[in-house]
Amino acid sequence: MALRFCHPLRLPSTLPRGSPKLALRTLKCSADNQTVDTRKLVVEVKQKLELEHPYLPMGRNGRDDEDMILWFLKDRKFSVEDATAKLLKAIQWRKEFGVAELSEESVKNMYRTGKAYVHDFLDINGRPVLVVVASKHFPSVP
C-alpha cells in the first residue's frame, strides 16, 4: 500500500495536456441572489416544512437552509410540492445515515482500511477521482 504525503484533493501543479482550464465560479444559486418570486417560494417551502415536519433538524442542511431549499426548487422546476417532498427525503436520508456525524478523523480511519483512495490523476473535467475497492468493503467493520 502506497502512502501519499500531500493532500489528496489538491490540484496538481500542472494540468494534464488537453484538459480544460479550471475556472473559479461564483455561487449563482445562493438564496441571496434571487428574485422576489423565488424568495417567496423559498419561504413557502420553509413554512410548509415547519408546519408539517417540525421534528426535522434545523440549521445547515436542515429544514430552514435557504440555499438548499432553493437548490431543490430549481431541481424540481420550482414546484413547491415536488421540492418539499424531495427535500424531506434528502433530510431524512442525511439523518438516517449520520452525515452530520462525519468528521475528518472518521474519513481518515476509512482511508486507512484501503476501502477507497483518491486516484493520482484527475478526470476529464479536472476533478479528483475516488476509487472504491469493493472487495475490501465489509459493512460490519467501520
Chain segment 19-60, per-residue pLDDT in tens: 555 444 444 555 555 676 888 999 898 888 888 887 777 777
Chain segment 75-132, per-residue pLDDT in tens: 999 999 999 999 989 988 988 888 878 888 887 887 788 888 888 999 999 999 988 8
The pTM of the full predicted model, rounded to 2 decimals, is: 0.55
Cell numbers standing for residue 14? 500542472
- Buried/exposed code over 23-36 (b: 16+ C-beta within 10 A; e: otherwise): eeeeeeeebeebee
pLDDT at 83: 92
Of residues 2 and 100, the one with the higher pLDDT is 100
pLDDT at 25: 45
Helix (H) or strand (E) run with residue 72 in it: helix 66-75
> Hey, CA dihedral for 36, 37, 42, 48, is it positive or negative?
positive
pLDDT at 18: 53
Helix (H) or strand (E) run with residue 116 in it: strand 116-122
